[in-house]
Amino acid sequence: MKKQHLIFAMAVLVAACSPKAPDIEKQIDDILSQLTLEEKVAMVHAQSKFSSPGVPRLGIPEIWCTDGPHGVRAEVLWDKWSQARWTNDSCTAYPALTCLSASFNPEMARLYGESIGEEARYRKKTVLLGPGVNIYRHPLGGRNFEYMGEDPYLSATMVVPYVQGVQSKGVAACVKHFCLNNDEINRHTVNVNVDDRTLYEIYLPAFKAAVTEGGAWSIMGAYNLYQDQHLCHNERILMDILKGEWGFDGVVISDWGGVHDTDEAVHNGMDLEYGTWTDGLTMGATNAYDSYFLAKPYLDGIKSGKCGTEELDDKVRRLLRLQFRTNLAETYGHGRFVCPEHSEAARRIADEGIVLLKNDGGLLPVKDAEKILVVGENAFKMLTVGGGSSSLKVKYEVSPLEALKARFPEAEIVFERGYSSGAANAQDGISAKFDIAESRSAEQMVADAVAAADGADYVIVFGGLNKNNFQDCEGVDRRQYGLPYGQDELVEALAKVAGDRLVFVNISGNAVAMPWADKVPAIVQGWYLGSEAGNALADVLSGDVNPSGKLPFTFPVAMEDGPVFMEEQYPGIQREGEKIIDEYYSEGVLVGYRWYDTKGVKPMFAFGRGLSYTSFEYGEAVLKGRKLSVSVKNTGKVAGAEVVQLYISDSEASVERPSKELKGFRKVFLQPGESRTVSFDITDDALSFFDADAHKWVVEPGEFVAHVGSASDDIRSSVKFNVK
């Protein structure tokens, strides 16, 4: 057997035993010694839109990436974003990560990761470009729907099982976008100014957990800048923090087109460059990929002695480690794709993430309905299509309208569109299965909906945002906090004629204004739910599933009530004579409910809020040492789940601390009459703040309060305690 074949066979054997075995490092040394300089440089940049080369003569496979994070993206052409028109690449779409986070159930995150990991493995992908865990900083952020909400503890808790689930199938998770990429406008030129305490307390924890607890095998740099340096080659973030403080041994992948400088990319931790120049062809002498920052310019630099090879060897070592963990590890099988188990998983996650925000007079669940009027474009528009890189080509997507017809076969289901977004429903050559063109005027659509409400037992509006530009969409932010397309007028008009039986289902990944909230008895947050969207919404509306989701971000009454309201905070101030736009995160750690609570501003719907068709009674919280226990009882008539939330306040601190912060949660499923005691260990982590001067987490002695409750604004019991 030739030497390289022997090495390869041994490598596979060891990988099969344990993907982290130290022997792998020795084999990587051997492989490194056989690679030519040209082969190594070829490995650190793309060869197509979503792949980078292997080393064919040594049997080292190519790396194939795919979006992510809600389903496995359709195959695209070698050098273009448009789809390759394969007929075997229609995936299962899972709920958007906002919905996953709203489940407040780490088991759902594990199920999500495993299921999407299997789909990626089946499609022979090395890396899944997700999950996204940028913090929800303000409601205009175009990609908030792809992330896990406004709270670092919640995001950190949910991201770990997602990453582990994906990687348990032999596919690398690529946690994105690291970091401080909290809005879309000017995403390549925004320079974030943030203090260290805020960075460590708010914007880093989810990434840190993904790396140090989840063991993420790859991470994606962000487009924007921090300390005047692009985040795809940012010395502080990638070298000092990620690879230094956190000891990350995986691969840093660039965001597509996020690399801007060879020298910085070489020295500041960028391992694999993708997407430089949009069509991948225009810039190169022979092949544009050769002109990437980590291609010919890098090779020339090494040959001329301007750069050494130490950094290159480190990058290649990381890439080979990724290979042993994924493509070369045969223990994981071949995955599976679009199967009943994946549909079931998507529906369970959606069922657990839907949030019942309001239910006056117990209007929901739907009972004894002879006629149901369904209103709104989102009752039939395909919402898996659009939104940027998370857009999917799905095997199927069940609309709410179809699902309600199937769930209530006895009832007369009437549909009225009510409003129209006017835009085509397509992206990258993938278009929705039906035409959504509309010829009526906005006024006529409202009038028709109002007329159809006559005699309806329920009027259920499916409105909100969608994946069009300037809605929930990558590359652009929303332009307003209010609902688009005249929906406020529609809801007001329907409230006049059907105010006692009106349900509004808000489909979005962002908070929206609801000036009519007082006039609508039932409001549901319906997210983007993927293939099983309609079925899951029908589950909750019909009461087949008792809602148990909780809001992972606050719905303020008005945008100005929130922490980000000055131009310098967002969209930032352009530097004179430069492209750079400075955004100042001057709200500091007061992000989301931390702001509303501390400033005493009452939101429309608070973080952690979510109702049920049953009721839960809490006992008094009891603290023994650092263990806090509380009993919860289902006092209603149907089974249900409650998310018991633990918040901590630091009563006396030398720095301004938020009024309270989430430091624990537990979802408990209870039969009617059943009660359970839930316990939390209050660790030092739950009490500390990041002392920027000392560069460490500090617990200050003094009084703290532990609060347990059903939402951030619904605390049922509080206990004071002292730390010496």
Binding to ligand BGC in span 577-636, by CB under 6 A: none
Q: Which is nearer to ligand BGC, 258 or 658 (CB)?
A: 258
Answer for which of 147, 226, 256, 292 binds ligand BGC (CB under 6 A) is: 256
Which CB atom, from 256 or from 527, has the smaller least distance to ligand BGC?
256
Pick one of 41, 129, 265, 533: the residue that binds ligand BGC (CB under 6 A): 129
List, in sequence order, every residue forming a beta bridge with 723; answer none if it has no partner: 702
Query: Which residue in 70, 123, 137, 176 binds ligand BGC (CB under 6 A)?
Result: 176
CB of 388 to ligand BGC, least distance (A): 7
Q: Smallest distance, Å, CB 259 to ligand BGC?
A: 13
Q: How far is the CB of 84 from ligand BGC (least distance, A)?
A: 14
Strand 371-375 relative to strand 355-359, pairing: unpaired
Least separation in angstroms between residue 354's CB and ligand BGC is 25
Q: Is 650 a catalytic residue?
A: no
Shortest Cβ distance from residue 67 to ligand BGC (Å)? 5
The number of residues that bind ligand BGC (CB under 6 A) is 7
DSSP3 helix / strand / coil % (the chain, rounded to 5): 30, 20, 50
SS (H, E, C) 183-207: CCCCCCCEEEECCHHHHHHHHCHHH
d(CA 387, CA 592): 24
Interacting residues of 653 by C-beta distance below 8 A, sequence separation 6+: 689, 700, 702
220 or 540: CB nearest ligand BGC = 220
* Nearer residue to ligand BGC within complex by CB, 343 or 389: 389
Q: How far is the CB of 423 from ligand BGC (least distance, A)?
A: 20
Q: Is 64 in the site for ligand BGC (CB under 6 A)?
A: no
Q: How many CB atoms lie within 10 A of CB 124?
A: 14
Least Cβ distance, residue 93 to ligand BGC (angstroms)? 16
Residue 416 binds ligand BGC, judged by CB under 6 A: no
CB 208 within 8 A of CB 600: no
- How far apart, in whole angstroms, are the C-alpha atoms of residue 457 and residue 466? 27
Angstrom distance (rounded) from CA 600 to CA 598: 6
Q: Angle between the 310-325 and 3-17 helix axes, to the nearest 10 degrees?
A: 60
Q: What CA–CA distance (Å, rounded) separates 385 from 377?
A: 14
* 619 neighbors 570 (Cβ within 8 angstroms): no
By the rule CB under 6 A, 45 interacts with ligand BGC? no
67 contributes a contact to ligand BGC by CB under 6 A: yes
Q: Which of 183/488 has CB closer to ligand BGC? A: 183
Nearer to ligand BGC, 145 or 689 (CB): 145
Pairwise CA distance, residues 68 & 78, whole Å: 18
| x/- map, 73-112, ligand BGC, by CB under 6 A | ----------------------------------------
426 three-state secondary structure: strand
Looking at the Cβ atoms of 119 and 255, the one nearer to ligand BGC is: 255
Helix/strand/coil for 172:
strand
Task: Name the residue among 562, 563, 598, 553 with its Cα closest to residue 584.
Answer: 563
Asked if 661 is part of the footprint of ligand BGC (rule: CB under 6 A), the reply reads no
Measure the CA–CA gap between 65 and 180, rounded to whole angstroms: 23
DSSP label at 239?
Answer: I
Query: Rounded distance, CA 588 to CA 202, Å?
Result: 9
Q: What is the 3-state secondary structure (H, E, C) of 543-597?
A: CCCCCCCCCCCCECCCHHHCCCCCCCCCCCEECCCCCCEEEECCCCCCCCHHHHH
**For helices 152-167 and 106-122, what crossing angle results, to 10°?**
40
Shortest separation between residue 49's beta carbon and ligand BGC, angstroms: 8
Rounded least distance, CB 319 to ligand BGC, Å: 18
- Among 151, 255, 397, 488, contact with ligand BGC (rule: CB under 6 A): 255
Q: Which one among 234, 323, 389, 535 touches ligand BGC, defined by CB under 6 A?
A: 389
Q: Which residue, 50 or 613, is less far from ligand BGC as judged by CB?
A: 50
According to DSSP, residue 716 is labeled: E
Q: What is the dihedral of CA 356, 362, 365, 368, to 10 degrees?
A: -160
Residue 68 binding ligand BGC, by CB under 6 A: yes
Residue 533, SS3? Answer: helix
Site for ligand BGC contains 66 (CB under 6 A): no
Cβ closest to ligand BGC, residue 389 vs residue 487: 389
Which residue's CB is nearer to ligand BGC, number 265 or number 473? 473
397 binds ligand BGC (CB under 6 A): no
Q: Locate tokens 């703040």: which residue?
A: 689
Q: How far is the CB of 256 from ligand BGC (least distance, A)?
A: 4
β-pairing verdict for 640-650 and 627-634:
unpaired
Distance CA 211, CA 164 (A): 10
**Is residue 493 a contact partner of residue 486, using CB atoms and an 8 Å limit?**
no
Q: Which is nearer to ligand BGC, 351 or 428 (CB)?
A: 428
* HSE (side-chain half, CA atoms, 13 Å) at 270: 35
| Catalytic choice (89, 183, 255, 472) | 255
Does position 52 bind ligand BGC by CB under 6 A? no
Beta carbon of residue 255, minimum distance to ligand BGC (angstroms, whole number): 5
Which residues are near ligand BGC by CB under 6 A? 67-68, 129, 176, 255-256, 389
**Catalytic residue set:** 255
